[in-house]
Amino acid sequence: MTFRWLDRLSDGIAWIAAWALFVVGLMLGYEVIARYFFNAPTIWAEEMSRILMVWAVFMAGASLMRKDAQIRVTILTDLLGPGGKLVARLVSLVFVVGVSALLVRYGIKDPVSSLEHGRTTGTMLDPPAWIMQASVPAGFALVCVQGLVEIVRTLRGDRAAERSAADHMAG
C-alpha cells in the first residue's frame, strides 16, 4: 500500500502554508508603510495576517510529521537500542493520533456553533469566527491521518529505510 497521494497532499498544503506566511509578511509590511508613512492604517491587515498565520501553522503539521521534522527532546530515546526506539516511536505516534482525534472531535464544535449562530470576531474587520476556529480541527485531522500513515510505515520498516538513505547521503 502506498501513501504517495497523502504525501503530495501534505506537502502541497505545507507549500500553501509557506506562501500564506509570505503573504502575511507582505500584508504587515504594507500596514507598517500605510500607517507610519501615510498615516492611513488599514482595518484588514492585522486580522487577515492573524487568520493566515494560524491556518499556516495548523496546516503545516502533517507535512512536518511526514518528514519527521518535529522538534523533539531525545535525551531518553538516545539511550535506547533500535527496538526501544521503534517502540518509543510507535507509542508517540499512537499518542499523537489519539490526541489529534480528540482535538478534531471536540474542536469541531466551536466552528460549527459559530457558523450556526453567525458569530463574528467582534473586531473592526469582523469576519465570521468559524474561519479562524476551523483551523484547529482541520489541521489536526490532517495530523491524525498522517499519524496513522506513519504508524503503518513504521511497522513496515519504511521509515528505517528512509533514515538509512538520508544518513548515507548526509555522511
How is the chain split into domains, by residue range? 4-170
77 confidence band (pLDDT: 50, 70, 90): confident
167 confidence band (pLDDT: 50, 70, 90): very low
pLDDT at 163: 52
Is 132 in contact with 110 (CB distance < 8 Å)?
A: no
Distance, in Å, from the CA atom of 136 to the CA atom of 108, rounded to the nearest integer, reads 8
Distance separating the N- and C-terminal Cα atoms of the chain: 30
Tens of pLDDT, residues 22-39: 999 999 999 999 999 999
CA atoms within 13 A on the CB side of 39: 0
Integer angstrom CA distances of residue 129 from 41, 51, 53, 141, 165: 23, 10, 15, 19, 45
Residue 8 has pLDDT above 50, yes or no: yes
169 confidence band (pLDDT: 50, 70, 90): very low
Name which of 52-61, 76-85, 94-103, 129-138 the model is least confident about: 76-85
Mean pLDDT of 88-109: 96
Mean pLDDT of 153-157: 91
Distance, in Å, from the CA atom of 43 to the CA atom of 125, rounded to the nearest integer, reads 6
Q: What is the DSSP letter of 128?
A: B
Could you give the percent of the chain with pLDDT greater than 90? 71
Mean pLDDT of 3-9: 88
Burial of 133: CB neighbours in 10 Å, binned 0-12, 13-18, 19+: buried
pLDDT at 72: 83
Is 159 in contact with 150 (CB distance < 8 Å)?
A: yes
Residue 54 has pLDDT above 70, yes or no: yes
